[in-house]
Amino acid sequence: MIGRTSFPMKVKKWNLRQRTLAVTILSFTLLAGMIGSGILIGPEKMGVDFLSKYLPPSFTHPFGTDWLGRDMLTRTLKGLTLSFSVGLLASTVSTFIALILSLLCSVNKKLDAVVTWFIDLFLSVPHIVILILISFAAGGGFKGVVIGLALTHWPSLTRLLRAEVLQLKNTDYVAVSKAFGKSRMWIARHHLLPHLVPQLIVGFILLFPHAILHEAAITFLGFGLSSEVPAIGIILSESMRYLATGMWWLAFFPGLALLVMVSIFDLLGRSIRKLIDPFHGQKL
Amino acid sequence: MQLKRVSLYVIKKTLKLVSLLIAISVLSFLLVSYSPIDPIQSYIGADMVRVSPEQRDNIAAYWGLDDSKTEQFLNWSKAVLQGNLGTSLIYRAPVADVIAERFLASLILMGIAWLMSGFIGFILGIISGIQEGSWVDRIIKGYCFILASTPAFWLALLCLMLFSVSLGWFPVGLASPAGILTEDVTWLERAKHLVLPALTLSIIGVANVALHTRQKLIEVLGSEYARFAKAKGETGFLLLWRHGLRNISLPAVSLHFASFGELFGGAVLAEQVFSYPGLGQAVVQAGLGGDIPLLLGIVLFSTLFVFAGNLLADLLYQFIDPRMRKEELQ
C-alpha cells in the first residue's frame, strides 16, 4: 500500500515507441540470423547420408532427416533463404510498379481511370490462377514462378498509394506550387514522393509475407522448381508421400519455419509502420 | 426514380463485367499462346516419338495451330461466345462439362467453409472487440495474425496428419472411397471426405472477418451514440444488440463476399492436399499438363466467380444499407 502510492516503482515500463523499437530490432535480428545461416551453409552439409535416413528429430538433427538422410534443418534454412530472395525480388518490382502507377494517377482523370481499371483487372482473377497462368506462359521452371510473383503483387499497394496521391493532390501547397508554374515532375518529387516514402517502405516489407506464401504455394502445387532445389513448397509436397507412414517431422518443421518467417515479416512491417508512419500506423 | 437507378446500376455492372472478361480472355490467350510448351506434345505425351512429322502437321492443321495468333484468338472467342469452350485434353471431355462437374464439388466445399469461417470469424471478432485490450482480445488477435501468416497447404497437411494418419478418423484423400461406383457412394461417406478440406478452409478464412469485425466494433463502441447508450446504463449484450450488431454485420458480410478470390485460392491448395476432385485440382492439372482449353476456361470461370462475390458485396451496400439510399436521394 505504502510502496505503491508514495514511491514510483523502480521497474520502468517501456512506452509504446520503445517497445515497438525493441520488436523491430528483435525481428530484424531474427530474420538476419535465419537468412544469414541459410546463405552460410555450404553444399557439404546438404549431402546424402543413407546411414541416417528417416531419423526423427534429435539433438544432432533437430528437424530430423528425410528418405535420403539429408538434414531437414539445413534444407529448411536453405528453403527460407530461397523464399527470401524470391520475396525480395517480388517486393522490389511490385513496389516500383505501384509507385509509378500511383504517380500516373495524379496526372489526370483518364489515366487514373485506366490505372484503376488495371487494378480491378488483376484483382478480379484469383491470385493463384494468375500465377499458374504466368508460370505456364513462361514454359514452367523457376523463371515463370519468379516473373509471376514479381508482376502480380502491385495492385493492393497501388490502391493504397493512389488514395494517398489523390488526397495530396488537393492540398493547398500543391495548388500553390501549381500556381507558381512548377512542373508535374517537380511537384511529384517535392510534394508527393516525401509523403509516399513511409507507405512505400511499409508496403515493401508487408509485401514479403504475400510473396513468400505465394511462392511456397505455387511450388507446392508443382510449378517451377525442380525437386532438387530445397524450397519450402517442394519439401512439403515431397513430405506428402511419407505422411501416411507417420513421419510428421518432414512436414511439420519446414512449414512451421515458414510460418515463423512470414509472421516476423508481418510483425516487422507493422512495427515499422508504427515508427515511421504514425499517421496510419496508430489506426491498427 | 428507383427503376432508373437500378437499371443504370445494372448497365454499369454489365459493362464492367464484359470489359473485364474481354480483357482477361485477350491477356490470358496471349500469355498461353506464347508459351514454349508445345500443345501437341502435351496432348500426345510419351508417345511423341511414335508420331511422324506428317501426322504432327496434320494434328496442328486440325487444331488450327497453323493460323496466325489473331485468327486463333478470333476462332476461340467465337466458339466461346457460342458456349463452346473446347475440349479438355486431360479429361477428354468438353471443358464446360468438366468445369460444371468440378465446380459443383468445389462449391459444396467452399460453401461450407465460407459459412463456417464467416460465422466463427464474426463471433470471434465480436468477443474480441467488445473486450478490447483484455487477454481474450489479445489471444484472438494474435491467433488471427498468426493465421494470416499460415500457409494454407501446411495447415491442410497438419489436419491430414492429425485426423487421418494419427487418429484415423477420416480417410486420407479423394471425395469418395476408391473402388466403389459413384452411384453407390453414400452421403455419409461423401461427407466424411469433405470434413477435413472444409475444416482447413474454414480455419484459414476466419482471420480476415474476425479482425475486420473487431475493428468495426471498436469504432462503433467509441462513437457518440454508443457512449450515450452506455450513459443510460446499457452494457454488454444489450448494447451490442441494439447499437453494434447492425452496424458491424453489413461490412462483415460484404467483406466476406468480396473474399471469393482468396477462398478460391485456398480451395486450390486444400483440394491438392486432400486430392479432392474440385475445380482447384483441375486448374493445377490443366497448368501442369498443358491443357490450354481447360486452363482458359477456368480462368474465365474463376473471374466470373470472383466478380459475382464482389457484385454481391456491392449490392448489399447499395440496396440494403438505408444510409446509402438516403445519400443517393439528397
Q: What is the ipTM of this complex?
A: 0.85
B140 and B259 in a single domain? The answer is: yes
Say which residue, B249 or B56, is predicted with more confidence: B249
How confident is the model at residue B276, as a pLDDT? Answer: 83
**Taking a contact as any Cβ pair under 8 Å apart, which residues of chain B between 264 and 303 contact chain A?**
264-265, 268-269, 272-273, 283-284, 287-288, 290, 295, 298-299, 302-303
B156 and B108 in a single domain? The answer is: yes
Whether B319 has a pLDDT exceeding 90, the answer reads no
B113 and B31 in a single domain? The answer is: no
CA dihedral B252→B107→B93→B30, nearest 10 degrees, is 10
B171 and B31 in a single domain? The answer is: no
How confident is the model at residue A198, as a pLDDT? Answer: 87
Which among B114, B135, B62 has a CA at the least distance from the CA of B309? B114
The answer to whether A237 and A147 are in contact (CB under 8 A) is: no
Is B329 domain-assigned?
Answer: no
How confident is the model at residue A11, as a pLDDT? Answer: 60
Instruction: Give residue B316's region: left, alpha or beta (phi > 0; psi -120 to 50).
Output: alpha
| Mean pLDDT score, B49-63 | 73
Burial B206-239 (b: 16+ CB within 10 A, else e): bbbbbbbbbbbbbebbeeeebeebeeeebeeeeb
CA dihedral A39→A42→A43→A45, nearest 10 degrees, is -110
Architecture of domain A64-278: Orthogonal Bundle (1.10)
pLDDT classification of B328: cutoffs 50, 70, 90: low
How confident is the model at residue B124, as a pLDDT? Answer: 93
Suggest the residue from A23, A30, A119, A133 to mutate for an interface test with chain B (most B CBs closer than 10 A). Answer: A133
Is B90 domain-assigned?
Answer: no
**What stretches in chain A show pLDDT beneath 70?**
1-12, 44-47, 50, 52, 225, 227, 278-284
How confident is the model at residue B172, as a pLDDT? Answer: 64
Whether B26 has a pLDDT exceeding 80, the answer reads yes
The answer to whether B250 and B324 are in contact (CB under 8 A) is: no
Q: Chain-wide mean pLDDT for chain B? A: 82
B157 and B50 in a single domain? The answer is: no
Is B174 domain-assigned?
Answer: yes
Is the minimum CB–CB distance between B149 and chain A shorter than 8 Å?
A: yes
Per residue in B201-216, pLDDT (tens digit) is: 999 889 989 999 998 8
Last residue of a domain, one of B81, B105, B128: B81
Whether B60 has a pLDDT exceeding 80, the answer reads no
If one counts the domains in chain B, the total is 2
Q: Output the domain CATH number for residue B267.
A: 1.10.3720.10
Suggest the residue from B15, B33, B149 to mutate for an interface test with chain A (most A CBs closer than 10 A). Answer: B149
Q: Do B151 and A213 touch (CB under 8 A)?
A: yes
Q: Do A140 and B273 touch (CB under 8 A)?
A: no
How confident is the model at residue B246, as a pLDDT? Answer: 82
How confident is the model at residue B325, as a pLDDT? Answer: 64
| Mean pLDDT score, B274-284 | 87
How confident is the model at residue B185, as a pLDDT? Answer: 59
How confident is the model at residue B249, as a pLDDT? Answer: 87
Is B88 domain-assigned?
Answer: no
Q: Do A128 and B145 touch (CB under 8 A)?
A: no
Instruction: Supply the range of the domain harboring residue B283.
Output: 95-324
B234 and B209 in a single domain? The answer is: yes
| Mean pLDDT score, B76-100 | 83
B222 and B77 in a single domain? The answer is: no
Per residue in B209-255, pLDDT (tens digit) is: 999 999 888 888 888 888 888 888 887 778 888 888 888 888 888 88
How confident is the model at residue A95, as a pLDDT? Answer: 93
